[in-house]
Structure 1
Amino acid sequence: MTATTRKNVSRRALLRGTAGAGAAALLAGCGVPAAYVDPKDRAGRDLSARDRVLHFANWPLYIDTDDDTSKRPTLDAFGRRTGISVRYTEEINDNDEFFGKISPALMNHQETGRDLVVISDWMAARFVRLGWVQEMDRKKQPHVAAHLDPLLRAPAFDPGRLHSVPWQSGITGIAYNRRKLGREIRSTKDLWAPDLRGKVTLLSGLDESFALLLQGNGVDVTRWTADDFHDLCEQIEGLVRKKHIRRFTGNDYIKDLSTGDVLACQAYSGDVIQLQADNPDIEFVVPEEGAELWAESLMIPNLAQHKTSAEQLVDYYYEPEVAAELAAWVNYVCPVPAARDVLADSGDEERAALAEDPLIFPDDAMRRRLAIARDITSEERTEFARRWNSIVGL
């Protein structure tokens, strides 16, 4: 069963959590020196050869299942091929919550009981800065080396992708109801047109919102500055006071857009695929000025007891045939472009259509407008989150 025929909650809403809140922001914002782990202290005793088991922690609804959801076909196939039993848990419901769950062990140089985790890009940056994840051995991962999308190979937080490998990716762009609006939206600036007053929503989370809005102002988000951010805040404050922006949302923008209460909004590519199944009038736009490309990353925590097995599982999901199976189920941007040909040649009409969907496999024109934003540093986060949250609360 593919995601085009099922109803999911918003993947991205689950994945991002509330950036800058709770223990995560406090620890990273203060840059607690004792929390940092030196590279020489990150590796544990690797028991992969002896213990044919692996603990993989992921988010709900983020792996392929069969029709009754009792089995996970790609994961089960890995177990049959390798003899490795994967203990798969859907325990990650919020980035900050998960950070709070495993941070005591990591900052105290203790193992977490997990060999592989999937966390959002901004949280992955925090783990890398704190030295809480191990480098992967790319010599053991030929499929990652061969097939990882070039657009995702060098995020600012992890040059060379030494500590992380994208599980799935996506785009933060603009969704709108073309029939009700009566015209196209091509630019982020189009959101500020007078006929959209009170009919626009933005995402409430700082990490979700800022990159696309900066791109709309012509900023290179791979190297944006504090001045760029504060200029943006002044702009959005003015739009809020003029009541141009209806409100700031989590994934409830989906309902607003479906009912017509909102005509245009910031949105995630995977959500729009789901919306279009019921309402073909909903369009998704990568603006002319660009849009944010993001990923949720696979990472191996410090002292993981089955590092070699974890690296093997990561590489398995970069085999184009396996990546195609996963992409057909989750319907986000596939980080393995070669999976497109697998779906196109599958002989299945529905899967062949997915291969042509630019929200799963962006075409060349769209790819040229995508960028991975520089992450917010620990020194910036407290100040920036405070200012952004004050705008959201206006």
Structure 2
Amino acid sequence: MEHHEQHEPLSLAEISAMRHSMTDGRLAMTRRSLLRASGAAAAAMGGLGALAGCGIPPAGRTDAGNSEDHSSKEKRINFSNWTEYMDVSDDGKHRPTLEAFTKRTGLAVKYTEDINDNDEFFGKIQAQLAAGQDTGRDLIVLTDWMCARMISLGWIQSLDPAKLPHAYTNLVPEFRDVAWDPGRAHSYPWQGIPAIIAYNKKATGGRKVDSISQLLEDPELKGRVGFLSEMRDSVGLTLLDMGKQPEKCTADDFDAAIARIQKGVDTKQIRRFTGNDYTTDLDKGDLAACVAWAGDVVQLQSDNPDIAFAVPKAGYMTSTDNFMVPNKARHKQNAERLIDYFYEPKVAARVAAYINYVCPVDGVREELAKIDKAAADNPLILPDEEMAARSHSFRALSAKESKEFAQKFSDLTGA
């Protein structure tokens, strides 16, 4: 099984308590928060699609080709994204950047937040894509490893560089070329997702925690350490701490990292493996330190001055969520216009100020500073050159490797 977030479902009360942009100072909800929401709970929040999943195995490569593009006569775009992953007005009734796009272009955007998990969403659309059929979506956003899988299956259309002048010019160098999609022929990043170390200064007695070695070996942290249930982040950071490159790791390297984390489990150094639910424990101090996603840390810090972060000297892991146009999409050119729109710095700044993940758009700092100077100065949202140089990504895995690695990690975490 490829990576699939394994978490206890949120109760409706928990979801209600974590609603995004609460004015009473409660923890804001990120899109990572909803990865652990059950289907029923997510549906109760509203905004999630009701499409049935299809449990068939992935088909072989099928270059089904492109359908006739209806962009010129059908002025619309069907856009599927993750939950709580787009800017919303203060009253919660409008999506400013999308509405501004429609006003400018005349293209109506049917925006649906029906992606709750990579594997789950793949199950919704794989039967149609394997059969060479339209999924009903012109634009989707998925995480890099799933993008690699879908591109390799031949289910994603190539993008036209001539239709993406802002995206081509403004994509930051860090994300410009990736092994799973050379030259960004089929994808453009929506947001970057750094995995770093977070700690509660009150819980650590004021001590800084800035390495995986500390997490796994410091006796003062025993039983109060968290690792992520995302394989590529937890194993990738451990590989870096061992002097290995996640971009080039061998099966033996992977096994060595698993063994090192397993020791942390056996000695009860590690309290548990988590999804986004580490935020509550870190906030309270039940976890003194943990592997964390940067967007969560930014939001936690706004309410708790004891929350701090560290970028390990060995480097940190970054993944991306990416725009793609599936085969047979009816409005490819319209979708390309929307991708390009989000690469205009003013538009990107509005999104970055709201969702707090790494913005992949070059030249956005000045515009973001006009909205939120603290966000513009935050390296977790806009990494400086030094931080960007320490970023690493896990290499693309073959289907066989993916299954084997995922099983070993699942055995480790008890998922």
Taking structure 1 as the reference length, the TM-score comes to 0.91
CA drift of 1:101 comes to: 0.6
**379, 382, 390: which is aligned to 2:411?**
390
**210, 221, 224: which is aligned to 1:186?**
210
Q: Which amino acid aligns with 1:75?
A: L
**66, 81, 84: which is aligned to 1:61?**
84
Q: Which amino acid aligns with 1:90?
A: E
Q: Which amino acid aligns with 2:251?
A: A
The answer for the alignment partner of 2:46 in structure 1 is none
Query: 1:122, 1:207 within 8 Å by CA — same for their partners in 2?
Result: no
2:132 and 2:312 map into 1 onto residues whose CA distance is: 45
Check if 1:160 corresponds to 2:197: no
The answer for the alignment partner of 2:288 in structure 1 is 263
The answer for the alignment partner of 1:107 in structure 2 is 130
Check if 1:355 corresponds to 2:379: no
The answer for the alignment partner of 2:93 in structure 1 is 70
Check if 1:12 corresponds to 2:35: no
User: Mapping of 1:1-394 within 5 angstroms?
Assistant: 7-14=27-34, 27=57, 32-33=59-60, 36-38=61-63, 41-181=64-204, 182-191=206-215, 192-344=217-369, 346=370, 348=371, 351-393=372-414
1:3 and 1:326 map into 2 onto residues whose CA distance is: 14
Structure 1's 230 and 196: CA in aligned 2 closer, same or farther, altered over 3 A?
A: same
Q: Which amino acid aligns with 1:198?
A: G
2:187 and 2:414 map into 1 onto residues whose CA distance is: 34
CA drift of 1:205 comes to: 3.0
CA drift of 1:196 comes to: 1.2
Q: Any unmatched runs of 5+ in structure 1? A: none
CA drift of 1:365 comes to: 1.9
Structure 1's 25 and 241: CA in aligned 2 closer, same or farther, altered over 3 A?
A: farther
Query: 1:3, 1:328 within 8 Å by CA — same for their partners in 2?
Result: no
CA drift of 1:10 comes to: 3.4
Deviations 1:245-279 (A, max 9, x none): 11111111111111111101010000001111111
Structure 1's 13 and 336: CA in aligned 2 closer, same or farther, altered over 3 A?
A: same
Query: 1:148, 1:318 within 8 Å by CA — same for their partners in 2?
Result: yes
2:314 and 2:56 map into 1 onto residues whose CA distance is: 34
- SS of corresponding position for 2:179: coil
Q: Which amino acid aligns with 1:306?
A: H
Q: Which amino acid aligns with 2:29?
A: V
Q: Which amino acid aligns with 1:82?
A: T
Aligned length: 378
CA drift of 1:52 comes to: 0.5
Q: Which amino acid aligns with 1:243?
A: K
Query: 1:17, 1:95 within 8 Å by CA — same for their partners in 2?
Result: no
Percent of pairs with identical residues:
46
Higher RCO structure, 1 or 2 (CA under 8 Å, sep 6+): 1
Deviations 1:142-194 (A, max 9, x none): 10111001101112211111111111112001100123313112222121212
Bigger share in helix: 1
1:13 and 1:378 map into 2 onto residues whose CA distance is: 28
CA drift of 1:4 comes to: 9.7
Q: Which amino acid aligns with 2:74?
A: D
CA drift of 1:43 comes to: 1.0
